[in-house]
C-alpha cells in the first residue's frame, strides 16, 4: 500500500490544525491531537505512542520553564497587593498635569506594574479596573480611555519579567537572561511612544481629555514611597541577571519571594487572598503548560515532515534582499495575530522562521524582541485579541467597538514607530545584552 509523502502529511496536518482552531478547539489540545496523529501516519503507532508518553514530560521538565510559574505567581501577588494602584497614584502625581495626564499615568502605571508582574492578563485586569473609572469620572473620551487601558497590559509582554521572552529562549536555545535584559529598552521605548501619542492627540483635540490637576513637589516625592517595593523587585531581578548573580530561574524565585514578602509586610495579603492567588496562578500556569506540551508533540511531528527544514532552505535561497524576507515575517505575524493566541503563535511560527532569519544575518536576541513585540500587538488585535476581552470583563459597559477603536492609534504607533525604530536601530535591543557579565 503506497504511503503519503511526509511533507504532504505535514501540510494536511497544518490545515487540519487551522480548522480546529477555527471551530474553537483549545490550541494546546489541537496541537497534541494533530501532532500525535501525524507522527502515527509517518512512523506508526509505536513511535506515536512513545512520543505521547515521553514528549509531554520532556516539555515541562525543562529547568528553565520553572521560572514561568514564579513570574505568574509574582504577577498575581502584585495584583492582589494593590501594587498597580501604588504605581498609578505615583504616576498621576508626577504626570497628571500633562495633556491627557490620567491616560499617561495609566500607561506608566501599567509599565511599572509590568516590572513586577509576569502576567499581562493580570496587568490588564488591574489597570483596567483601577484606571478606567478614574478617566471616565474626569470626562475622558471613552475610546481614548479604553485604548489606553487596553495597551497598558500588553506592555508587560516585553518589560521583564516576561513569559513570552522565556519561552522564545527555550524554543530557540538562546540565553533567557540576555533576552530578559534586552526587553528593557524596547519596553521603555514603547512606553514613551504611547505617551507621546496621547499627549499629541490631546494637544490637537483638547476635547478628548480635560486639564489635569497639579501637585506640589512635596506630594510628588511622598508618592514615590508607593513604588519603592516595585523598584526593589524589578531591581533585584534585572540587577541580578545583568550582573550574572542569578540565573533566570533564580531571578524568578527571588522576585516571587520579594513580592510576597513585601505584600505581607505591607499587610495587603491575607490567607484568603493567598488561596485565591495560588488558585489563579495554578490555573494560568496549567493552561500555559498544556499549550507547551501540545506544542512539543506538534513540533516533533513537523520535524518528521521536514517542513521547517524545507521552508528554511526555500527562504534562504529566495533571490530577494533579507529585509524583504523580514518584512514578510512581520506581515505574517500581523495576519496570524488576528486569529491566534500569543503562546500558540510563538510555538507554531518560531520553528519555521528562526533558522532562516538567523542565517540571513539577523541577530537572534534582537529578532526575539521583535517577535515578542509582534505578539504583544496580537494580544489586542481583533477579532481574537485576548486583552480586549479581559478589559471587557472588568469594564462590561465598554463595547468591543470602543476598545478596538481606541486601540487603533496605538497599533499604528507600535507598528510603524516602535517596530520601525527597532529595525533601523537594532542597538536599542542589543546594547544591554552585549554588556552583560
Residue 35 has pLDDT above 90, yes or no: yes
Helix axes 142-152, 400-412, angle to 10 degrees: 70
Q: How far is CA 283 from CA 88, 125, 407, in A?
A: 27, 16, 28
Does any domain span residue 284?
no
Query: What average pLDDT score do residues 185-205 get?
Result: 94
- Same domain? For 181 and 259 the reply is yes
Summarize the confidence of residues 202-217 as an average pLDDT: 87
- pLDDT category at 364 given cuts 50, 70, 90 is very high
Buried b (16+ CB within 10 A) or exposed e, 241-256: bbeeebbbbebbbbbb
Those residues with Cβ within 8 angstroms of residue 190's Cβ, 6 or more apart along the chain or in another chain: 155, 158, 373, 414, 418
Same-domain pairing of 187 and 327: yes
Mark whether 295 and 343 lie in a shared domain: no
CA distance 309 to 355: 9
Q: What is the mean pLDDT of residues 266-279?
A: 85
* 320-356: pLDDT as tens digits: 999 999 999 999 888 888 777 788 888 888 988 999 9
Q: How far is CA 80 from CA 77, 163, 278, 340, 404, in A?
A: 5, 20, 11, 29, 27
Q: Domain tally for the chain?
A: 2
Interatomic CA distance for residues 418 and 190, integer angstroms: 6
Residue 10: which domain range?
1-61+289-305
More confident residue, 123 or 191: 191
| pLDDT band, very low/low/confident/very high, at 74 (cuts 50, 70, 90) | confident
Residues 136 and 222 in one domain: yes
Which of 251, 280, 305 is a domain's end point? 305
The predicted pLDDT at position 119 comes to 65
pLDDT in tens, 48-60: 999 888 888 887 7
Answer yes or no: are the C-beta atoms of 26 and 11 closer than 8 Å. Answer: no
pLDDT category of residue 425 using cuts at 50, 70 and 90: very high
Residue 10 has pLDDT above 80, yes or no: yes
Q: What is the reported pLDDT for 1?
A: 38
DSSP letters of 10-63? HHHHHHHHHHHHHTT--HHHHHHHHHHHHHHHHH-HHHHHHHHHHHHHHHHT-G
Residue 430, pLDDT above cutoff 90: yes
240 & 94 share domain: yes
**How high is the pLDDT of residue 336?**
83
* 249 and 394 inside one domain: yes
Residue 332 neighbours by CB distance under 10 Å: 15
Instruction: Give the model's pLDDT for residue 366.
Output: 96
Residue 322 lies in a domain: yes
Could you tell me how far CA 410 lies from the centroid of its own chain?
A: 16
- Residue-wise pLDDT tens digits, 143-182: 998 889 888 877 777 888 888 898 999 889 899 999 999 9
Q: State residue 2's pLDDT score.
A: 46
As a whole number, mean pLDDT of residues 364-370 equals 96
254: left (phi over 0), alpha (psi -120 to 50) or beta: alpha
In a domain, 36, yes or no: yes
Task: Please report whether residue 280 resides in a domain.
Answer: no
In a domain, 377, yes or no: yes
Between CA 325 and CA 416 the distance in angstroms is 17
pLDDT at residue 36, as a whole number? 94
Distance of alpha carbon 20 from alpha carbon 410, whole angstroms:
31
User: What per-residue confidence (pLDDT) applies to 423?
Assistant: 96
How many other CB atoms are found less than 10 A from the CB of residue 65? 19
Mean of all residue pLDDT scores within the chain = 86
In whole angstroms, give the CA distance from residue 164 to residue 342: 8
Name which residue leads in pLDDT, 245 or 189. Answer: 189
Whether 352 is covered by a domain: the verdict is yes
171 in the same domain as 253: yes
Residues 6+ apart with CB under 8 A from 178: 365, 433, 436
Q: pLDDT per residue over 77-99, tens digit each?
A: 887 888 878 888 888 889 888 89
Q: Is 153 helix (H, G, I), strand (E, B) or coil?
A: coil
274, part of any domain: no
What is the Cα–Cα distance from 26 to 260, expressed in whole angstroms? Answer: 32
Entry pTM: 0.88
Residues 223 and 295 in one domain: no
Q: What is the mean pLDDT of residues 404-408?
A: 88
Are the C-beta atoms of 35 and 291 separated by less than 8 Å?
A: no
134, 249: one domain? yes
The pLDDT assigned to 284 comes to 82
Domain boundary among 245, 278, 305: 305
Residues 293 and 382 placed together within one structural domain of the fold: no
Gap between the Cα atoms of 126 and 86, Å rounded: 11
Same domain as 250, residue 199: yes
Q: For 68, how many CA atoms within 13 A lie in the half-sphere containing its CB?
A: 25
355 and 259 in a single domain? The answer is: yes
pLDDT digits (tens, 9 = 90+) for 211-230: 877 888 888 888 888 788 77
223: helix, strand or coil: helix
**Residue 79: which of 250, 267, 232, 259 has the closest Cα?**
259
Within a domain: residue 275? no
Amino acid at each position: 500500500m503506497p504511503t503519503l509523502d511526509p511533507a504532504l502529511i505535514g501540510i494536511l496536518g497544518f490545515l487540519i490544525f487551522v480548522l480546529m482552531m477555527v471551530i474553537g478547539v483549545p490550541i494546546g489540545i489541537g496541537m497534541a491531537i494533530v501532532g500525535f496523529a501525524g507522527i502515527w501516519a509517518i512512523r506508526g503507532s509505536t513511535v506515536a505512542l512513545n512520543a505521547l508518553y515521553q514528549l509531554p514530560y520532556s516539555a515541562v521538565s525543562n529547568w528553565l520553564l520553572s521560572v514561568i510559574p514564579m513570574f505568574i505567581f509574582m504577577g498575581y501577588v502584585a495584583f492582589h497587593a494593590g501594587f498597580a494602584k501604588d504605581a498609578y497614584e505615583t504616576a498621576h502625581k508626577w504626570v497628571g498635569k500633562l495633556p491627557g495626564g490620567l491616560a499617561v499615568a495609566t500607561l506608566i502605571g501599567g509599565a511599572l506594574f509590568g516590572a513586577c508582574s509576569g502576567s499581562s492578563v493580570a496587568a490588564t485586569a488591574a489597570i483596567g479596573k483601577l484606571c478606567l473609572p478614574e478617566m471616565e469620572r474626569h470626562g475622558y473620551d471613552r475610546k481614548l480611555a479604553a485604548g489606553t487601558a487596553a495597551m497598558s497590559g500588553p506592555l508587560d509582554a516585553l518589560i521583564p519579567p516576561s513569559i513570552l521572552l522565556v519561552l522564545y529562549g527555550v524554543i530557540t536555545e538562546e540565553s533567557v537572561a540576555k533576552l530578559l535584559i534586552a526587553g528593557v529598552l524596547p519596553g521603555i521605548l514603547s512606553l514613551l511612544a504611547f505617551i507621546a501619542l496621547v499627549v499629541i492627540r490631546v494637544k490637537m483635540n483638547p476635547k478628548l481629555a480635560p486639564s489635569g490637576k497639579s501637585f506640589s513637589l512635596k506630594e510628588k516625592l511622598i508618592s514615590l514611597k508607593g513604588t519603592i517595593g516595585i523598584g526593589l523587585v524589578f531591581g533585584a531581578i534585572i540587577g541580578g541577571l545583568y550582573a550574572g548573580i542569578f540565573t533566570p530561574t533564580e531571578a524568578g524565585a527571588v522576585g516571587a519571594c520579594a513580592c510576597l514578602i513585601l505584600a505581607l509586610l505591607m499587610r495587603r495579603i491575607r490567607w484568603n487572598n493567598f488561596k485565591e492567588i495560588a488558585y489563579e496562578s495554578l490555573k494560568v500556569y496549567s493552561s500555559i503548560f498544556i499549550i507547551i506540551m501540545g506544542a512539543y508533540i506538534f513540533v516533533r511531528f513537523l520535524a518528521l515532515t521536514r517542513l521547517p527544514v524545507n521552508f528554511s532552505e526555500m527562504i534562504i535561497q529566495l533571490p530577494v534582499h533579507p529585509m524583504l524576507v523580514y518584512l514578510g515575517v512581520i506581515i505574517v505575524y500581523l495576519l496570524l495575530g488576528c486569529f491566534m493566541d500569543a503562546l500558540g503563535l510563538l510555538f507554531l511560527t518560531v520553528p519555521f522562521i528562526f533558522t532562516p532569519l538567523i542565517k540571513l544575518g539577523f541577530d537572534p536576541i534582537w529578532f526575539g524582541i521583535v517577535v515578542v513585540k509582534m505578539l504583544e500587538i496580537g494580544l489586542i488585535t481583533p477579532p481574537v485579541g485576548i486583552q480586549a476581552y479581559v478589559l471587557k470583563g472588568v469594564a462590561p459597559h465598554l463595547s468591543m467597538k470602543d476598545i478596538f477603536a481606541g486601540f487603533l492609534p496605538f497599533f499604528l504607533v507600535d507598528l510603524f514607530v516602535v517596530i520601525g525604530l527597532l529595525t533601523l536601530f537594532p542597538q536599542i535591543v542589543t546594547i544591554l545584552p552585549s554588556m552583560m557579565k
